[in-house]
């Protein structure tokens, strides 16, 4: 039973090049320009400005990292393999020892992102899991994104490795349950608890935790819209049909499915 892909989880615009960490960069500096372009999702302009900074010897390792992450975003947008190759070459040129600690975390994220986009999901999951706690200084939103990437990588691995599917989904479920105990506003956990429960065959728990997750969206306003949309897709296309078959037994599952669909629509109306 494969997991449902979460669209929000593979949107890799992370905006982690935060201004406070680079307050010393003059406004006119090319490296500062590159960061600002990246954060505005102007990736071609970010590549150009960072390349000029690198060519001028301005913190060339930081510049190469911005170039790499911009190419990764361009690959995600265009699926042009040349961008994935350019990102790899930029990452290979980075001397991680020359990066400040915050940028070393960025470097690890970029390596994980490259692995994910190159369909190397087990290795990507290892990278993401290793930096989940390290991004906490950047805030809960950044941590939640990395959790989402890790769970998505695990889910993709489960889809291509059926022999380990159960243990992979169990790991995601347990990690996300723990996250909700310490961070009730986690949008990643609000989605992946019901998604993992459903993948493990526990459609009853998947149904109830999806309902709870829909309400949890009110605790995470920045991610609320995408969380609701992802939960709606999960519930309507997977949880309702599968739970209806269980509840119907030898009867007609359509009756149970219609009742659940009406109940789900009521939740959406009451809490949207």
pTM, two decimals, is 0.86
User: Quick one: tokens of 131?
Assistant: 């930096």
Residue range 1-160 in CATH 1.25.40: yes
203: pLDDT confidence band, cut at 50, 70 and 90?
A: very high
pLDDT of residue 7: 46
Q: Using one digit for the tens of pLDDT, what is the confidence trace for 92-114?
A: 999 999 998 878 888 999 999 99
DSSP 235: I
Domain boundaries, the chain: 1-160, 163-272
- What percent of the chain shows pLDDT beyond 90? 74
Q: Using one digit for the tens of pLDDT, what is the confidence trace for 143-171?
A: 898 999 999 999 999 999 999 999 999 99
DSSP assignment of 2-26: PPPP-GGGG------S-GGGGTTS-
User: Higher pLDDT residue, 125 or 10?
Assistant: 125
pLDDT of residue 249: 85
Decide if 31 contacts 157 (C-beta within 8 A).
Answer: no
Conformation bin of residue 41: beta by default, left when phi > 0, alpha when psi is -120 to 50: left
233: pLDDT confidence band, cut at 50, 70 and 90?
A: very high
DSSP 248: H
Q: Point out the least confidently predicted range of 154-163, 179-188, 244-253.
A: 244-253
pLDDT at 19 exceeding the cut of 60: no
Q: What sections of the chain are H helices per DSSP?
A: 30-39, 43-55, 60-78, 81-92, 101-117, 121-131, 140-160, 165-182, 187-199, 203-216, 224-234, 240-248, 253-271
Q: Point out the least confidently predicted range of 19-23, 62-66, 154-158, 232-236.
A: 19-23
CA distance 73 to 70: 5
């Amino acid at each position: 039973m494969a997991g449902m892909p979460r669209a929000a989880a593979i949107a890799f615009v992370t905006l982690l090049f935060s201004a406070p960490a680079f307050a010393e960069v003059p406004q006119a500096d090319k490296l500062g320009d590159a960061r600002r372009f990246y954060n505005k999702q102007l990736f071609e302009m970010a590549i150009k400005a960072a390349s000029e900074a690198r060519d001028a010897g301005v913190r060339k390792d930081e510049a190469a990292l911005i170039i790499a992450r911009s190419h990764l975003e361009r690959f995600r947008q265009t699926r042009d393999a040349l961008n994935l190759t350019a990102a790899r070459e930029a990452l290979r040129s980075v001397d991680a020892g020359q990066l400040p600690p915050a940028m070393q975390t960025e470097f690890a994220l970029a390596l994980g992102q490259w692995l994910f986009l190159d369909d190397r999901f087990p290795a990507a999951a290892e990278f993401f899991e290793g930096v989940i706690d390290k991004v906490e200084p950047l805030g809960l939103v950044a941590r939640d994104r990395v959790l989402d990437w890790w769970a998505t990588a695990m889910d993709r691995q489960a889809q291509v490795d059926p022999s380990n599917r159960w243990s992979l989904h169990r790991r995601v479920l347990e990690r996300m349950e723990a996250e909700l105990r310490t961070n009730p506003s986690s949008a990643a956990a609000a989605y992946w608890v019901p998604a993992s429960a459903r993948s493990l065959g526990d459609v009853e728990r998947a149904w109830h935790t999806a309902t709870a997750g829909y309400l949890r969206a009110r605790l995470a306003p920045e991610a609320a819209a995408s969380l609701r949309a992802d939960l709606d897709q999960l519930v309507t296309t997977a949880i309702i049909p599968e739970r209806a078959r269980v509840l119907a037994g030898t009867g007609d599952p359509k009756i149970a499915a219609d009742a659940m669909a009406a109940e789900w629509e009521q939740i959406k109306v009451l809490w949207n």
